[in-house]
Chain A
Amino acid sequence: MKQVVVHPERCVGCLQCMLACATAHSRSRTLPEAVLESPRPRPRVHVGVGCFDEGFPNRCRHCDPAPCMLACLPGAIYRDAQTNTVLIDTDRCINCASCAMVCPFGVLRYHPDVLAPPDKTVAVKCDNCIARQQKGQIPACVEACRTGALTFEPLDGAMRRKTDAVSRTVSAGRREVPPPAGYALLTTIKHEQVRLRSH
């Protein structure tokens, strides 16, 4: 099964995934129209700023067992077995924030949403773009990501690639794994800026 895999070291913090996510969860599903909609479409992926100003696309891990699912008071959070996606039934959601209390990643948000009953504040988080997947599309954040920080692939393949990359750095006659072009420069600049700010 394919899933969204995050490669934090490649994120440059461009926020395109957030824009694409909000658009994908809008009424019109086009950016120019989405910005005019009410309630305003909001992203389910949140690019947080790290200690060195680096970006990090923080999204629901669809944990199993999922703490939010176990803590949900009205039983509004459930799992779609086919896509291994933890989903929220917004009709049942009571906006109690129990899910935010138990989510160790901080991915829950609370606001009215075009996909929820009108004028109701509900818990909102990543749904793996189930609607897009049903139409044969990949999740919007992955489609928008230009640096490869977000990929849509089977997890074991991504794990193997990562394991291979790590083993190459420790084996005899090792060679450094070159970072993506431009990324090393960007990282150096960000680290330097943080250093200068703190002086």
Chain B
Amino acid sequence: MATTQHVIIGNGIAGISAAEVLRAGDPDSAITIIGDESETPYCRPMISLVLEGALGPERLPIRGTDYYQQFGITPVLGRRVTAVDTSRREVHINGARPVIYDKLLIASGADPRPVKAEGRDLDNIFYLRHQAHVRGMLAVMPDARKALVLGGGLVGFKAAYGLLRRGIQVTMLIRSGYPLSMQADAEAGRMVLTELRAHGLEVRVGAEVTAFEGGPAVRAAVLSDGSRLACDLVVIGKGVLPSLAFVRRDQIAVDLGIVVDRHMRTTAPDVYAAGDVAEGMDLARGTRWVNAIWPEAVAQGRLAGTNMAGREVAGEGSLGRNVIRIFGLDIMTGGIVDPPADDDGFTVVSALDPRRRTYRKLVFQKNRLVGMVMVNAIEQGGVLLGLIQSRMPVRLPAETLLANGFNYKQLLME
């Protein structure tokens, strides 16, 4: 029998997690990984720590330089996939012969959401997604005085924090009323905003950039309210979108991400998807959702690899979660943090303790926990998130879960 050809699009954590369980479960198969970045696997969420100066770039790699050899993987790096044809089982790569697959994993991740603004291609305007972006920023940082960060989501936020820590004056532009509006609720967002402002961050709410001016490097940004803002470094952190331009929608079902079932199978035969590009069941929402976070990419990659190796294992679904530390605040959130106010199917309880600087919020749907926000004292956050993931009915009073002394034992009622 011919060797099974496994092809993985994506050299990120989902792709390599899949490759590793695939190698363990199917030792004789051939594995090819195609990635558009040319570095060996590294930890993407840590690049902001390099920007901040907390770590050197040498700390980013998460696998050794002999990684591909060790796992018997053929790496095709520095090239972007242009098309996948499932009818011919071909993966087309820029300027190379098509790669034929028996089983294909699409773990192509996500790309930064672009902004539409005049002068977008001026120098010193960056995304914060790849190691190379941070290298670019570090190169121009010695001359940077005034930075502008677009977007108050996780990426914009980490960029602003990193630049502030480097002693650069930062203005953050956010469209919604407070930062982290996708991850946190208004109360936690307000606490974050206060903390950042206390450390010198300028935040402009409700404004967007319409044009950049300068040449060759950016010198100013023109905002939607007509005002001009001088800046010599810009970071675009408006979130990410699944990277799936190469996917033919008549062959593979796509919503926001590539639609997957509980085995990480797409609608095309022998084609799987995992990580930031995949859209599977969300445990809190009970609908399909793209949860583009590191731990889910690991879990989904492993699940896809296990199934590709021939062992049919079903996953329960994914849960959006985040934890961030900024200056004196720790924020952990997960699931549905801001249920629609007009939906009475949700019960929300919260507790704010200004003296201890803690805030906790829990969102219930009937007797199931479906969302949580924690500011400071986050050690027991995993227990609450575990409750959301297990979808177990909660028999304890909500106040018990909110209390400072909440611990795992209280879930064992008897």
A binds B: yes
Assess the B294–A100 pair: CB atoms within 8 A: no
Known: A49-B405, A56-B407, A95-B325. A101 touches B382 (CB 8 A): yes
Contact mask A95-122 → B, CB, 8 Å, 1/0? 1111011111110111000000000000
Contact between chains at A103 and B409 (CB < 8 Å): no
Q: Is A136 in contact with chain B by the CB < 8 A criterion?
A: no
- Considering the chains assembled together, what is the distance between the CA atoms of A55 and B381 in angstroms? 20
Chain B residue numbers with a CB within 8 Å of A105 are: 382-383, 386, 408
- Residues in chain B near residue A70, CB distance under 8 A: 295, 298-299, 302
Chain B proximity of A89: nearest CB distance (Å): 12
- Contact between A50 and B412, CB atoms less than 8 A apart: yes
How many angstroms from the CA of A73 to the CA of B62 in the assembled complex? 8
Contacts of B378-410 to chain A: CB distance below 8 A: 378-383, 385-386, 389-390, 396, 400, 405, 407-410
Is A74 touching B62 in the complex (CB atoms < 8 A)? yes
* B413 on the A face (CB < 8 A): yes
How many angstroms between the C-alpha atoms of A128 and B325 in the bound complex?
A: 28
B392 to chain A, nearest CB (A): 11
- Partner of B55 from A55, A94, A98, A101 at Cβ < 8 Å: A94
Is B45 part of the binding interface, using a Cβ–Cβ cutoff of 8 Å?
A: yes
CB of B223 within 8 Å of the partner chain: no
Whether A97 lies near B46 (C-beta < 8 A) is no
Q: Is the CB of B323 within 8 A of A98?
A: yes
Chain A interface residue count, CB cutoff 8 Å, equals 32
Tell me the minimal C-beta distance from B128 to chain A in angstroms: 16
Return chain B residues, CB-CB under 8 Å to A46: 407
A71 lies within 8 A of B332 (CB):
no
Q: How far is the CB of A194 from chain B (nearest CB, A)?
A: 12
- Indicate if A51 sits at the interface (CB-CB under 8 A): yes
A contact set with B: CB distance below 8 Å? 8, 46, 48-51, 54-56, 58, 67, 70-71, 73-75, 92, 94-98, 100-106, 108-110
User: Contact residues of B with A, CB < 8 Å?
Assistant: 43, 45-46, 49, 54-55, 59, 62, 294-295, 298-299, 302, 321-323, 325, 330, 332, 334, 378-383, 385-386, 389-390, 396, 400, 405, 407-410, 412-413
What are 21 residue pairs bridging A and B, where the CB atoms are less than 8 Å apart in the complex? A46-B407, A51-B396, A56-B407, A58-B407, A58-B408, A70-B295, A71-B295, A73-B45, A97-B378, A98-B294, A100-B332, A100-B381, A101-B321, A101-B323, A101-B382, A104-B383, A104-B390, A105-B383, A106-B379, A106-B383, A110-B379
- Besides A46-B407, A58-B407, A103-B386, 15 more A-B contacts (Cβ < 8 Å) are A8-B409, A49-B407, A51-B396, A51-B409, A51-B410, A94-B46, A97-B378, A100-B378, A102-B295, A102-B321, A104-B408, A105-B382, A106-B379, A106-B407, A110-B379
